[in-house]
Amino acid sequence: QVQLQESGPGLVKPSETLSLTCSVSGGSINSDYWSWIRQPPGKGPELIGYIQESGRANYNPSLKSRVSMSVDTSQNHFSLRLTSVTASDTAVYYCAVYDGHNLDPWGQGTQVIVSS
Amino acid sequence: AIQVTQSPSSLSASVGDRVTITCRASQGIRTDLAWYQQKPGKAPKLLISDAVTIQGGVSSRFSGSGSGTDFTLIISSLQPEDFATYYCLQDHIFPWTFGQGTKVEVK
């Protein structure tokens, strides 16, 4: 089964841009929906959006103005950028894959703290 | 976005108890609902998809039911490894939305 691994800075300053990458192993990025989810401390998960192999992306309207995603099939990874971060963007960020049926599997998650 | 209301937010139970968790969607979502289990410091683990389909390797003490707006996760006989937080997720309409979670604690 495909495995996912998030990577990126664990600390981002307010107003700056959060950038994360999800590396895919055990399979190739294909026509599935390569997704980002975040979970603030003590709260439930929130979908950020997804990107497909073609580069087509769909973002949660709640974050749409600040989010962009990209995919690199040659490197078998996909990425997230979130601009103008504030303390409310502090969360564990997960990548996961949705095959049209299941949002599964997920990466182990990476903690991102927004603080000066 | 579709709102998913999960209840209760927490419950206390003992090993061997039958546990029931519910999710209610703000509009009909057919059977496009999944259940996840999350333990501290870990990613959510998919238990049930399409409201009723248990995933491979998941114990048969977990079962799901429902369609439309009302869904239920039942743990038939709670085991020590089942103490965790449970979330439902609707993937009927984008953005897919999660319930607020139910924390199952030791009584």
Q: Does residue B9 surpass a pLDDT of 90?
A: yes
Q: Does residue B32 surpass a pLDDT of 90?
A: yes
- What's the pLDDT at A36? 98
- What's the pLDDT at B2? 97
Are B90 and B97 a contacting pair, CB within 8 Å? yes
List, edge to edge, every strand of the sheet that includes B62-67: B4-7, B19-25, B70-75, B62-67
Instruction: Determine the average pLDDT of the residues in B29-53.
Output: 98
Instruction: Determine the average pLDDT of the residues in B24-43.
Output: 98
Are B104 and B83 a contacting pair, CB within 8 Å? yes
HSE toward the beta carbon, residue A28, CA cutoff 13 A: 5
- Cβ–Cβ contact A101 with B under 8 A: yes
Interfacial residues of B (vs A; Cβ cutoff 8 Å): 1, 34, 42-44, 46, 49-50, 55, 87, 89, 91, 94-101
Q: Does residue B6 surpass a pLDDT of 90?
A: yes
- What's the pLDDT at A31? 80
CA distance A48 to A50: 7
Q: Which long-range contacts (CB under 8 A, 24 or more apart) does B37-45 make?
A: B37/B82, B37/B84, B37/B85, B37/B86, B38/B84, B38/B85, B38/B86, B38/B87, B38/B101, B39/B84, B39/B85, B42/A108, B43/A94, B43/A96, B43/A106, B43/A107, B43/A108, B43/A109, B44/A45, B44/A106, B44/B87
- Taking CA–CA distances from B31, the nearest residue in chain A reads A101
Q: Does residue B31 surpass a pLDDT of 90?
A: yes
Are B28 and B68 a contacting pair, CB within 8 Å? yes
- What's the pLDDT at A101? 86
Chain A residues within an 8 Å CB radius of B89: 45, 103
pLDDT digits (tens, 9 = 90+) for A36-86: 999 999 999 999 999 999 999 999 999 999 999 999 999 999 999 999 999
Instruction: Determine the average pLDDT of the residues in B27-33.
Output: 98
pLDDT digits (tens, 9 = 90+) for B62-107: 999 999 999 999 999 999 999 999 999 999 999 999 999 999 999 9
Q: Does residue A30 surpass a pLDDT of 90?
A: no
